[in-house]
Chains A and B, each alone.
Chain A
Amino acid sequence: DTGVSQDPRHKITKRGQNVTFRCDPISEHNRLYWYRQTLGQGPEFLTYFQNEAQLEKSRLLSDRFSAERPKGSFSTLEIQRTEQGDSAMYLCASSETTDTQYFGPGTRLTVL
Chain B
Amino acid sequence: LAKTTQPISMDSYEGQEVNITCSHNNIATNDYITWYQQFPSQGPRFIIQGYKTKVTNEVASLFIPADRKSSTLSLPRVSLSDTAVYYCLVGDRRNTNAGKSTFGDGTTLTVKP
Question: Which residues of A are in contact with B by a Cβ distance under 8 Å?
Answer: 4, 31, 33, 35, 40-45, 48, 50, 55-56, 58, 89, 91-93, 98-106, 108
Contacts and interface: CB of A to CB of B under 8 A. Distances in A.
Contact of B45 (A31, A58, A89, A103): A103
B43 A45 contact: no
B44 A45 contact: no
B113 interface: no
A101 B38 CA distance: 13
A32 B23 CA distance: 28
A108 B41 contact: yes
Given A40-B105, A45-B102, 20 more contacts: A4-B43, A33-B101, A42-B85, A42-B87, A43-B103, A45-B99, A45-B100, A50-B96, A91-B43, A91-B44, A98-B93, A98-B94, A99-B93, A100-B34, A101-B101, A103-B45, A104-B43, A105-B41, A105-B43, A106-B43
Contacts of B44: 43, 91, 93, 103
A67 to B, nearest CB: 12
A43 B98 CA distance: 15
Interface string B40-61: 0111111001000000000000
Contact of A31 (B43, B99, B105): B99
Nearest to A103: B43
A44 B103 CA distance: 7
A3 to B, nearest CB: 9
A101 B2 CA distance: 18
Nearest to B100: A45
A26 B28 CA distance: 30
A11 to B, nearest CB: 14
Contacts of B103: 35, 42-44
22 contacts: A4-B43, A35-B103, A40-B105, A42-B87, A42-B105, A42-B106, A43-B44, A43-B103, A45-B102, A48-B99, A50-B96, A55-B96, A55-B97, A58-B100, A98-B95, A99-B93, A100-B34, A101-B46, A101-B101, A103-B44, A106-B41, A106-B43
A41 B100 contact: no
